[in-house]
C-alpha cells in the first residue's frame, strides 16, 4: 500500500487527535459512505461492465445489496446537499454547482446527517470533497463533522487540502491520484481510532471527475484508458477500507455504502451510463440513476437486489432510524426510512411510489414524464448532435430504459395523472422551501476583482 510522507503522516495524526468524550463501546452500527464523483451506472463489473474490472466493489455487492433504481441529482453540489439534509436540493435552496465566487453554501439552520448522528453518540468525519460552500462559514466542522480532511477552494490561494479549518497543503487538482494515499490513510486511521465507539465516515472521493490523473501505480492497468485506470484506483480504495473494517473487527456491524453523485460526464471517452440515456447535467436516467451498493453483514442478505425506487434523500431518515434518533422536526424531509428493505422485511407497498425532479421529470412506477424539454448533455457543450426530448414525452422505463420511444399519445390519462402529481409536488415545495446559506455581499474592491477573474 502507498504511504504518504512523514509530514503528511503528522497532519493525519492531528486529524485523529480530537477529544472523543467519554462514549462507551456501543452496539450501534457504524456507517461508512463512499461517494464517487461522476461515475456512471455501467462503470462497475457488478453493473454489467465488460471492460472495467472492479473486484473489490463486486465483492461488496456479493456481500450486500445492489440497488437498481437509486436516484440522485444530476450534478455534484445538489446531490451532496440532499445527502446532508434528506431533502431534494430544490427544497434546501440550491440546484446549481456551488463555487466560492457564489458566496453561498449549506444554511446554518439545516439539521444535517452528521448533526443527527452526533446526537446519538456518533463520532463524525469527512474525508475528501465537500462542495457545499468554499468559505469558512460553510466548513464541514461547522455543520456536524468532528473532523475534516479534504478539499476546499480559497478565493485567493486556490485549491488546497484542509485539516478542519486550517489549510495544510496547496494543490493544483483535486483529482490528482497523488492525493489518494493521503485521503485513504486519513479514512483508515479514522476507522482504527474510533473502532470502539459508533462512527460515521463520509468518504467523498474526487474521482473519477475530470481531469483524470491516476495514481502512478494504476497507470496502464485497465482496458479503458486513463478513465479505466482511475476506476481501478477507486476500486483499490474501496478494498483498503474493507480491509480496515475487517482488521478492526467491526465489518459485521458496519453499514458500508458505495454510490456515485451523478451520471458520467459526456462527450469524452470515459464513463458509461449502461442502458440509460445521456449522463451528467441531464435528468435523463443516465444523469440521475446511479449505482448503489449497501453491505451490512449483520443485517443485509448477501447477494440481494432491491429494484424499488430509492434515493440519496433516504439516507438521512434511514441513518436516523439505525442510530435511534428522530429526524429533524419543523421541516419537510423528502426522504424515507428504507431500513425495511435492508432488513428484508415484507413491505406491502413501495416506500416510494415516485421519484420527482421538481419542475423537470417525474417517475411514477414504471412511467416517466418529462415536464420540460430535456437537452442532451445539459450545459456541457459536449453532447454533439444527439436529439433533445420535448416536454410532454412519456417513457415506460421497464421496457424502454434508454428513453428512446415517446408513448404519450397512446397514454393520455397517464400523462394527465403524472402532470397532476408534479403540479402538487411543486406547489407543496414552494410552500415549504428553505433557503441556501449566503455570505454578506462584499464591498472590498480587491475581492470583487478576484471574483470577477475567477468567474471567467
Active site residues: 76, 131
Say how many CA atoms lie within 13 Å of 371 toward its Cβ.
18
User: At 426, is the secondary structure helix, strand, or coil?
Assistant: helix
Cβ atoms < 10 Å from Cβ of 423: 13
* DSSP at 147: E
Q: In 3D, which of 287, 313, 310 has the Cα closest to residue 90? A: 313
Helix or strand holding residue 80 (H, E) = helix 76-85
User: What is residue 92's DSSP assignment?
Assistant: T
135: exposed, middle or buried (Cβ count in 10 Å: 0-12, 13-18, 19+) = middle
Signed CA dihedral, 296, 300, 302, 305: sign only: negative
CB 191 within 8 A of CB 244: yes
Determine the length of the chain: 456
* β-pair partners for 128: 150, 204
Phi, psi of 267 (to 5 degrees): 80, 5
Give the C-alpha separation, 433 to 186, whole Å.
Answer: 36
Sign of the torsion angle spanned by Cα atoms 130, 132, 133, 137:
negative
* CA distances from residue 180 to 4, 33, 87, 209 in whole angstroms, order as listed: 9, 16, 30, 13
Closest by CA to 39, choosing from 224, 172, 186, is 224
* Cell numbers found for residue 143: 455543520
Cell matching residue 160: 488546497
Instruction: List, in order, residues 6 or more apart from 222 with CB less than 8 Å away.
Output: 51, 52, 53, 228, 229, 231, 232
* Cα–Cα distance measured from residue 369 to residue 77, given in angstroms and rounded to the nearest whole number: 25
Spatial distance between the Cα atoms of 40 and 47, rounded to a whole number of angstroms: 10
Amino acid at each position: 500500500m502507498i504511504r504518504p510522507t512523514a509530514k503528511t503522516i503528522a497532519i493525519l495524526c492531528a486529524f485523529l487527535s480530537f477529544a472523543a468524550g467519554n462514549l462507551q463501546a456501543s452496539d450501534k452500527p457504524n456507517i461508512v459512505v463512499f461517494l464517487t464523483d461522476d461515475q456512471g451506472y455501467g462503470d462497475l463489473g457488478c453493473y454489467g461492465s465488460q471492460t472495467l474490472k472492479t473486484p473489490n466493489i463486486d465483492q461488496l455487492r456479493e456481500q450486500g445489496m445492489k440497488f437498481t433504481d437509486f436516484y440522485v441529482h444530476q450534478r455534484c453540489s445538489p446531490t451532496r446537499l440532499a445527502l446532508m439534509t434528506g431533502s431534494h436540493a430544490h427544497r434546501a435552496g440550491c440546484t446549481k454547482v456551488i463555487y466560492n465566487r457564489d458566496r453561498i453554501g449549506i444554511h446554518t439552520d439545516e439539521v444535517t446527517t452528521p448533526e443527527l448522528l452526533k446526537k446519538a453518540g456518533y463520532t463524525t468525519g469527512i474525508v475528501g470533497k465537500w462542495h457545499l460552500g468554499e468559505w469558512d462559514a460553510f466548513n464541514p466542522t461547522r455543520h456536524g463533522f468532528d473532523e475534516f480532511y479534504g478539499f476546499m477552494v480559497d478565493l485567493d490561494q486556490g485549491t488546497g487540502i484542509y485539516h478542519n479549518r486550517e489549510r495544510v497543503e496547496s494543490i493544483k487538482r483535486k483529482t490528482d491520484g497523488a492525493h489518494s494515499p493521503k485521503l485513504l490513510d486519513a479514512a483508515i486511521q479514522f476507522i482504527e481510532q474510533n473502532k470502539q465507539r459508533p462512527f460515521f465516515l463520509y468518504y467523498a472521493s474526487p474521482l473519477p471527475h475530470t481531469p483524470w490523473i491516476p495514481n502512478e501505480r494504476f497507470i496502464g492497468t485497465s482496458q479503458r484508458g486513463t478513465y479505466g485506470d482511475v476506476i481501478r484506483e477507486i476500486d483499490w480504495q474501496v478494498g483498503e477500507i474493507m480491509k480496515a473494517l475487517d482488521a478492526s473487527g467491526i465489518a459485521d456491524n458496519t453499514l458500508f455504502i458505495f454510490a456515485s453523485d451523478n451520471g458520467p460526464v459526456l462527450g469524452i471517452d470515459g464513463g458509461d451510463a449502461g442502458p440509460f440515456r445521456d449522463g451528467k447535467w441531464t435528468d435523463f436516467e443516465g444523469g440521475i440513476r446511479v449505482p448503489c451498493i449497501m453491505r451490512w453483514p449483520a443485517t443485509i442478505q448477501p447477494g440481494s437486489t432491491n429494484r424499488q425506487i430509492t434515493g440519496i434523500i433516504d439516507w438521512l431518515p434511514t441513518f436516523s432510524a439505525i442510530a435511534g434518533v428522530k429526524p429533524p422536526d419543523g421541516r419537510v424531509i423528502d426522504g424515507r426510512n428504507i431500513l425495511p428493505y435492508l432488513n428484508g422485511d415484507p413491505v406491502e407497498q413501495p416506500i416510494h411510489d415516485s421519484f420527482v425532479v421538481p419542475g423537470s421529470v417525474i417517475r411514477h412506477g414504471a412511467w416517466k414524464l418529462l415536464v420540460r424539454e430535456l437537452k442532451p448533455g445539459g450545459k456541457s457543450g459536449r453532447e454533439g448532435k444527439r436529439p433533445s426530448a420535448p416536454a410532454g414525452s412519456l417513457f415506460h422505463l421497464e421496457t424502454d430504459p434508454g428513453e428512446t420511444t415517446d408513448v404519450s399519445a397512446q397514454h393520455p390519462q397517464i400523462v394527465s395523472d403524472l402532470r397532476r402529481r408534479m403540479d402538487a409536488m411543486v406547489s407543496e415545495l414552494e410552500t415549504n422551501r428553505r433557503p441556501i446559506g449566503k455570505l454578506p455581499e462584499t464591498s472590498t474592491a480587491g475581492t470583487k476583482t478576484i471574483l470577477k477573474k475567477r468567474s471567467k
